[in-house]
Amino acid sequence: MPYKYHDLTLKTVAELREIAKDVEHEAVKGYTQLNKEHLLKALCVALKIDVKEHHEVVGIDKAAVKLQIRELKKQRDALIGKDKSAELRRIKRKIHRLKREIRKALEA
């Protein structure tokens, strides 16, 4: 069964030791003596699991949304210092909403 880093962090030390028992790798040697933190790192090395958690955006085109944000930031920078506070506020709110849209589309 392929494991993900997040799945392993939710397991107890006993469950991690059960997994390590079946793994033939130098990193998990002496797994019975390791605490959870060290055992987790050793298992990640042995199973070639990336320690950093990566999230994928699902349901939207992230590149297109980021392009919109960049364009709005250019407009915002052009308006800063001019007497157009209502337009500036509208652009800032739009940037905020687009960033929230990306965050909501993240899949853990």
Segments forming the whole domain that contains residue 37 = 5-47
Q: What angle do CA 63, 6, 96 make, to 5 degrees?
A: 35
Tokens for 13, please give them.
Answer: 């030390």
Looking at the structure, tell me whether residues 85 and 103 fall in a common domain.
Answer: yes
Angstrom distances, CA of residue 99 to CA of 10, 52, 64, 95, 106: 29, 22, 12, 6, 11
The HSE-up count of residue 32 (CA atoms within 13 Å, CB side) is: 1
pTM flag (> 0.75): no
Quote the number of domains for the chain: 2
pLDDT per residue as tens digits for the range 57-92: 888 999 999 999 999 999 999 998 888 899 999 999
Q: Identify the pLDDT of residue 58.
A: 85
pLDDT of 6: 84
Residues 10 and 38 in one domain: yes
Kindly state whether residues 40 and 74 are assigned to the same domain: no
